[in-house]
């Protein structure tokens, strides 16, 4: 516990600034099966208590500073388990260290729970919670909140089993310094592969967008700094990122839904990367990239998010196609034009719905045209970074993609446990 947060492994320098690691405290009541969560209102989500290490501060001091305003406790009656979290980044980034905070005596938890808010009806309370409010939540409550995209990130759920393994493990105090509770298999890291090996649709989409390794590294750095201390991107943080790209904030939920191909209500870096590739004006609207883009377009307009587009949703698409041509259709003219286009897919009335597969087929067979102007950035990502930095022009080289792009990456963490 003597290691300073400023040590080589815990501090980094980027752009002349010292970047310190984050400490996250996981506090769990085994009896009531609840986690302590804090509402980070400005970030748009609930999450574990966390803080940034300070200069010349030991990890123990950081944990104590984190806990003091959150819970009432006797420091001699708790023990810490350090969950090491290692990110492999192509830049100088920050690490996130999880500490499982475990009571040595049962009355310690009772002291923690005394006077704290109980999250019994959290779904109704969540919109009225003040910034930094404390709640104790069950796993089921966390799942409900997650569906509303109101967690900062998915770690309270995605790492739930590992955390509970820690808390439910019985360790003799005399062996506590040498015990190792578990070691998780490392999730595939991002690696560089040749641009000639684009054998799946995800790689083809990224290549079509001309996302070089330099561009991808810049996007990864942007993503990493935005989501810290989580590995996931929630809706509120997503809004901030797409505003920088010139997209209309009024439609941020629609863009988020389009990016969220797995419907988990949170985005991984791969989700973010591929969504931007689909938006990029460099991406061709033909072949495999066109099919992938059409999937994003369908999700963007499919407000119900059920792979069945209603006529009213379809009308919004037709309106946008004409708007991009400088034509303003509305009222009966819009309805008549939309119904005519709707029938191109073999649908006879506005009461029917258009499936994703029929939409892809209609566009692919050129029965329905106009989608090439939809779901586009005004400026390519490459130009965006060139304008925002003084770095030399970016030229195509290799691409950075996960080693198994068919499996969505949910985290880049490598977890192992050390007792403190």
pLDDT (tens, 9 = 90+) of the chain, 420 residues, equals 333 343 334 444 444 334 678 899 998 887 788 899 999 998 989 999 999 988 888 878 888 899 888 877 666 667 777 765 555 555 666 778 888 887 766 566 655 665 454 545 676 778 888 888 888 888 999 999 998 889 999 999 988 887 887 777 744 443 333 333 333 323 333 333 334 344 588 999 999 999 999 999 899 999 989 999 998 999 999 999 999 999 988 999 999 999 999 999 999 999 999 999 999 999 999 999 999 999 999 999 999 999 999 999 999 999 999 999 899 989 999 999 999 999 999 998 999 999 999 999 999 999 999 999 999 999 999 999 988 775 444 443 344 444 333 332 334 443 343 444
Whether 5 maps to a domain, the answer reads no
282/301 same-domain check? yes
The CATH number of the domain holding residue 73 is 3.90.79.10
Inter-CA distances, 215 with 175, 327, 376, Å: 48, 35, 18
**Residue with the two structure tokens 């870096």:** 269
pLDDT (0 to 100) of residue 51 = 93
The reported pTM is: 0.82
301/171 same-domain check? no
Compute the chain's Rg from CA coordinates: 24
User: How, if at all, do strands 96-103 and 22-29 pair?
Assistant: parallel
226/138 same-domain check? no
DSSP state of 378: S
DSSP state of 151: B
Q: SS3 for 190?
A: strand
pLDDT (0 to 100) of residue 100 = 83
Whether 206 maps to a domain, the answer reads yes
242/284 same-domain check? yes
Assess contact for 136 and 34: CB atoms under 8 A.
yes
pLDDT (0 to 100) of residue 151 = 94
Q: What are phi and psi of 218, to 5 degrees?
A: -65, -40
The CATH number of the domain holding residue 274 is 1.10.238.10
Whether 2 maps to a domain, the answer reads no
**Residue with the two structure tokens 């196609």:** 321
Which residues make Cβ contacts (< 8 Å) with residue 81, sequence separation at least 6?
99, 100, 102, 166, 181, 417, 418, 419, 420
264/279 same-domain check? yes
98/201 same-domain check? no
Assess contact for 65 and 52: CB atoms under 8 A.
no
279/312 same-domain check? yes
Question: What gap in Å lies between CA 54 and CA 36, rounded to an integer?
Answer: 23
49/158 same-domain check? yes
Question: What gap in Å lies between CA 335 and CA 341, rounded to an integer?
Answer: 10
178/282 same-domain check? no
Question: What gap in Å lies between CA 281 and CA 292, rounded to an integer?
Answer: 14
Question: What gap in Å lies between CA 369 and CA 148, rounded to an integer?
Answer: 35
Whether 6 maps to a domain, the answer reads no
Whether 4 maps to a domain, the answer reads no
Q: SS3 for 35?
A: strand
Q: How far is CA 369 from the centre of its chain?
A: 33
Number of domain units in the chain: 2
Whether 106 maps to a domain, the answer reads yes
278/395 same-domain check? yes
Whether 398 maps to a domain, the answer reads yes
> Max CA-CA distance within the chain?
80
pLDDT (0 to 100) of residue 111 = 59
Structural domain harbouring 351: 190-402
Question: What gap in Å lies between CA 19 and CA 38, rounded to an integer?
Answer: 24
73/212 same-domain check? no
229/337 same-domain check? yes
Q: SS3 for 238?
A: helix
Question: What gap in Å lies between CA 266 and CA 291, rounded to an integer?
Answer: 23
Which residues make Cβ contacts (< 8 Å) with residue 58, sequence separation at least 6?
1, 2, 3, 4, 5
Whether 331 maps to a domain, the answer reads yes
The angle formed by the CA atoms of residues 61, 64 and 70, to the nearest 5 degrees, is 150
């Amino acid at each position: 516990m003597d290691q300073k947060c400023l040590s080589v492994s815990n501090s980094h320098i980027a752009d002349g600034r010292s970047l310190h690691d984050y400490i996250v405290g996981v506090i769990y009541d085994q009896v009531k099966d609840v986690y302590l969560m804090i509402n980070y209102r400005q970030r748009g989500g609930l999450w574990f208590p966390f803080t940034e290490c300070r200069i010349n501060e030991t990890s123990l001091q950081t944990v104590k500073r984190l806990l003091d305003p959150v819970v009432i406790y006797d420091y001699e009656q708790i023990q810490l388990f350090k969950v090491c979290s290692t990110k492999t980044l192509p830049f100088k980034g920050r690490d996130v260290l999880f500490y499982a905070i475990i009571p040595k005596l049962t009355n310690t938890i009772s002291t923690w729970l005394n006077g704290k808010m109980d999250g019994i009806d959290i779904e109704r309370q969540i919109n009225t919670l003040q910034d930094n409010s404390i709640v104790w939540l069950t796993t089921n409550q966390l799942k409900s909140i997650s569906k509303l995209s109101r967690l900062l990130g998915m770690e309270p759920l995605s790492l739930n089993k590992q955390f509970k393994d820690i808390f439910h493990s019985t360790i003799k105090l005399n062996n506590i310094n040498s015990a190792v509770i578990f070691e998780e298999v490392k999730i595939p890291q991002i690696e560089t592969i040749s641009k000639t090996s684009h054998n799946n649709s995800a790689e083809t989409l990224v290549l079509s967008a001309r996302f070089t390794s330099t561009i991808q590294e810049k996007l990864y750095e942007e993503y990493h700094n935005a989501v810290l201390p989580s590995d996931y991107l929630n809706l509120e943080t997503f809004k901030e990122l797409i505003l920088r790209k010139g997209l209309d904030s009024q439609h941020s939920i629609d863009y988020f839904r389009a990016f969220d191909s797995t419907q988990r209500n949170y985005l991984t870096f791969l989700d973010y990367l591929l969504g931007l590739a689909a938006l990029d004006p460099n991406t061709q609207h033909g072949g495999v990239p066109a099919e992938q883009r059409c999937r994003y377009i369908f999700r963007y307009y499919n407000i119900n998010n059920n792979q069945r587009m209603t006529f009213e949703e379809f009308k919004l698409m037709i309106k946008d196609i004409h708007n991009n041509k400088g034509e303003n259709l509305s009222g009966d003219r819009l309805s008549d034009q939309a119904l005519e286009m709707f029938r191109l897919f073999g649908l006879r009335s506005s009461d029917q719905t258009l499936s994703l597969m029929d939409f892809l087929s209609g566009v692919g067979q050129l029965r329905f045209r106009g989608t090439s102007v939809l779901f586009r950035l005004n400026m390519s990502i490459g130009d965006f970074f060139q304008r925002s930095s003084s770095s030399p022009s970016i030229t195509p080289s290799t691409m950075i993609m996960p080693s198994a792009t068919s499996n969505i990456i949910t985290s880049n963490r490598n977890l192992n446990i050390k007792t403190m």
